[in-house]
């Protein structure tokens, strides 16, 4: 493995000069530059990243921080991120934080340790203090699926999405609409479900329909819990004719539950999900679509721009409803 000293010797220049041509920001005489470049190529020299990091006090890598990998939506976004970084040749490190402790630990490791060049946060809210730490450590950050103050964020409007889904059901004649969502039992601060419920309530209110607390069920995130909550909803005296689930994963639980009660979708109960994950078309689930993979790619591209010193704005993504076969007119 050739070192910078080998290159310097071979090219008959000093190490400082080699360093300068590698990093190319300072002025070096064209002839010298050419000579050094030739030697670098000939020796197949590649700078030692550890030495570089030690000297500069930071890494070249990109860190991706996610709350969990098992979530279909987080996973799809991650795929987009990785795809976008593929050609950049940068090292991508993955950190999973599914409790506040793990999150704090991850952040501590990032600002106090590995100091990556960039950080991509997927779906995980971060406190102002944390964001300030990141800024102080000069870790360029981009957020995906979560709006972080002062950080370029790739997001959709969940309230509008909730409204969209609910309005879709209202337009098809439904009035008794249930909501199945999750509450943030981990304390990580997820807002999607809450915001989508807000949209649901607004859409109802827009038609003068008040909130019916018994129609709103929440619990820990997951298909099984959604299944259980749906059973409660369906055993109500006036059971809803439609259910809006805060995510597709939960919608799948709803579908199972409806079937388990001996009811039919969409004849007896209509269902709308959110995210339009890969499974949705297979199940025929009508869902609010957000571009998951795309959001990852866009976030990664934004980070690359940021690292290039460009100004980067928030990237709003739009929501559409994908009609399949889990909703019928009323």
The contact set with a second copy (CB under 8 A) reads 1, 46, 48-51, 53-54, 59, 61, 69-70, 75, 78-79, 82-83, 86, 91-96, 102, 112-114, 252, 278-279, 282-283
Min dist. Cβ of residue 131 to a second copy (A): 20
* DSSP letters for 87-146: TTT--EEEEE--SHHHHHHHHHHIIIII--SEEEEES----HHHHHHHHHTT-EEEEESS
Confirm or reject binding of residue 15 to DNA (CB under 7 A).
Answer: yes
Min dist. Cβ of residue 224 to a second copy (A): 13
* Of residues 109, 172, 145, 156, the one with CA closest to residue 323: 172
Stretch that binds DNA, among 42-50, 84-92, 188-196, 246-254 (CB under 7 A): 42-50
Q: How far apart are CA 162 and CA 25, in angstroms?
A: 49
The helix (run of H) or strand (run of E) holding residue 272 is strand 270-275
Structure-block tokens of residue 42: 């000939």
Stretch that binds DNA, among 41-49, 101-109, 160-168, 222-230 (CB under 7 A): 41-49
Please count the residues of this chain forming the interface with DNA, following the rule CB under 7 A. 31
Q: How far apart are CA 264 and CA 327, in angstroms?
A: 11
Residue 3 touches which member of DNA, a second copy, none, C-beta under 5-8 Å by kind: DNA
Q: How far apart are CA 133 and CA 149, in angstroms?
A: 13
> Locate tokens 């920001």: which residue?
25
Confirm or reject binding of residue 42 to DNA (CB under 7 A).
Answer: no
**CB-wise, 159 or 283, nearer to a second copy?**
283
According to DSSP, the β-strands at 92-96 and 62-66 are parallel
Residue 78 touches which member of a second copy, DNA, none, C-beta under 5-8 Å by kind: a second copy
Q: Mask 49-68, x = binds DNA (CB under 7 A)?
A: --xx-xxxx-----------
* Of residues 58, 116, 125, the one with CA closest to residue 91: 116
The torsion defined by the Cα of 65, 73, 260 and 210, in degrees rounded to 10, comes to 100
Min dist. Cβ of residue 24 to DNA (A): 10
Min dist. Cβ of residue 115 to DNA (A): 11
Min dist. Cβ of residue 7 to a second copy (A): 15
Confirm or reject binding of residue 114 to DNA (CB under 7 A).
Answer: no
Site of interaction with DNA (CB under 7 A) = 1, 3-5, 12-20, 22-23, 26-29, 31-33, 45, 47-48, 51-52, 54-57
């Amino acid at each position: 493995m050739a070192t910078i000293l080998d290159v310097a010797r071979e090219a008959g220049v000093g190490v400082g000069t080699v360093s300068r041509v590698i990093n190319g920001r300072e002025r070096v005489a064209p002839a010298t530059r050419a000579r050094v470049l030739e030697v670098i190529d000939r020796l197949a020299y590649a700078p030692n990243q550890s030495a570089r990091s030690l000297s500069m006090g930071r890494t070249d890598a990109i860190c991706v921080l996610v709350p969990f990998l098992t979530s279909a939506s987080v996973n799809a976004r991650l795929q987009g991120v990785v795809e976008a970084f593929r050609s950049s040749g940068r090292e991508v490190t993955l950190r999973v934080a599914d409790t506040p402790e793990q999150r704090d630990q991850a952040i501590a490791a990032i600002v106090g340790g590995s100091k990556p060049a960039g950080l991509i946060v997927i779906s995980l809210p971060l406190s102002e203090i944390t964001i300030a730490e990141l800024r102080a450590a000069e870790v360029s950050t981009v957020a995906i699926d979560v709006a972080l103050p002062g950080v370029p964020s790739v997001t959709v409007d969940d309230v509008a999405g909730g409204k969209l889904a609910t309005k879709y059901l209202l337009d098809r004649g439904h009035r008794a609409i249930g909501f199945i969502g999750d509450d943030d039992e981990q304390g990580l601060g997820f807002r999607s479900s809450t915001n989508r419920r807000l949209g649901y309530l607004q859409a109802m209110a827009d038609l003068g329909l008040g909130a019916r607390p018994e129609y709103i069920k929440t619990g820990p995130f997951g298909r099984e819990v959604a299944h259980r909550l749906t059973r409660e909803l369906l055993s109500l005296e006036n059971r809803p004719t439609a259910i809006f689930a805060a995510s597709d994963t939960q919608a799948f639980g709803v579908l199972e539950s409806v079937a388990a009660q001996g009811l039919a979708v969409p004849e007896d109960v209509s269902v709308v999900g959110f995210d339009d994950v890969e499974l949705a078309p297979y199940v025929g689930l009508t869902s609010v679509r957000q571009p998951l993979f795309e959001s990852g790619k866009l976030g990664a591209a934004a980070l690359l721009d940021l690292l290039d010193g460009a100004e980067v704005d928030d990237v709003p993504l739009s929501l559409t409803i994908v009609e399949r076969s889990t909703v019928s007119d009323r």
